[in-house]
Homo-oligomer: A and B are copies of this chain.
Amino acid sequence: MDEKNPVNGYNVHTLKDRREMLDAIGLSSIDDLFSQIPSEIRLHRPLNLPPAQSEWELDKRLHALAAQNATTRTHLSLLGGGAYEHYIPAVVPTLTARGEYLTAYTPYQPEMSQGILRVLHDFQIVMGRMLGLPAVNCSVYDGATALAEAAWMACSITNRRHVVVTEALWPEYSQVLNTYMRGRNVTVSVIPTDAMTGSMDLEKLAGSLKDTPAAAVLTQTPNGYGVLEPIEHISKMCHSCGTLSNVSCYPMMLGCLKAPGKQGADIVTCEGQSLGLALNGGGPYLGVMATHEDNIKFLPGRIVGECDDLKMEKALALVKESREQHVARDKATSHICSNQALLAMRILVYLSAVGEHGFQKISRLNASKAHYICERLCELPGVRRTHTGHFFNEFLLDLPCETAPLLVTLQKQGIFGGIDFSRLYPNSDRKLLLAVTETKSKTELDRITDVFRRAIAELGGVIRS
Task: List chain A positions with a Cβ less than 8 A from chain B.
Answer: 54-57, 59, 63, 73, 87, 89-90, 94, 97-99, 438-439, 441
Contacts and interface: CB of A to CB of B under 8 A. Distances in A.
A54 B437 CA distance: 14
A57 B441 contact: yes
Given A63-B73, A73-B63, A55 B87 contact: yes
Nearest to A63: B73
A55 B98 contact: no
A73 B89 CA distance: 26
14 contacts: A54-B87, A54-B438, A55-B87, A55-B89, A55-B90, A56-B87, A56-B438, A56-B439, A57-B441, A59-B87, A63-B73, A94-B97, A98-B98, A98-B99
A55 B94 CA distance: 15
Nearest to A437: B56
The 5 closest A-B CB pairs, nearest first, are A56-B87, A56-B439, A55-B89, A55-B87, A63-B73
Contacts of A55: 87, 89-90
Contacts of A94: 97
A147 B63 CA distance: 37
Contacts of A438: 54, 56
Copies in the complex: 2
Interface of A is mostly: loop
A63 B73 CA distance: 9
A403 to B, nearest CB: 28
Contacts of A441: 57
Contacts of A73: 63
A63 B438 CA distance: 18
A115 to B, nearest CB: 14
Contacts of A54: 87, 438
Contacts of A56: 87, 438-439
Nearest to A85: B56
A262 B56 CA distance: 32
A94 B54 CA distance: 18
A131 to B, nearest CB: 25
Contacts of A57: 441
Nearest to A354: B55
A345 B14 CA distance: 27
Nearest to A362: B54
Contacts of A90: 55
Nearest to A365: B54
Contacts of A439: 56
A103 to B, nearest CB: 11
Given A54-B87, A57-B441, 12 more contacts: A54-B438, A55-B87, A55-B89, A55-B90, A56-B87, A56-B438, A56-B439, A59-B87, A63-B73, A94-B97, A98-B98, A98-B99
A242 to B, nearest CB: 46
A356 to B, nearest CB: 12
A88 to B, nearest CB: 9
Contacts of A87: 54-56, 59
Contacts of A97: 94
Contacts of A99: 98
A439 B90 CA distance: 30
A63 B74 CA distance: 10
Nearest to A57: B441
A63 to B, nearest CB: 7
Interface centre among A54, A73, A441 (most CB of B within 10 A): A54
Contacts of A98: 98-99
A176 to B, nearest CB: 31
A178 B63 CA distance: 43
Nearest to A440: B56
A67 to B, nearest CB: 10
A48 to B, nearest CB: 22
A56 B87 CA distance: 6
A86 to B, nearest CB: 9
A87 B73 CA distance: 26
A73 B438 CA distance: 31
Nearest to A87: B56
A438 B59 CA distance: 13
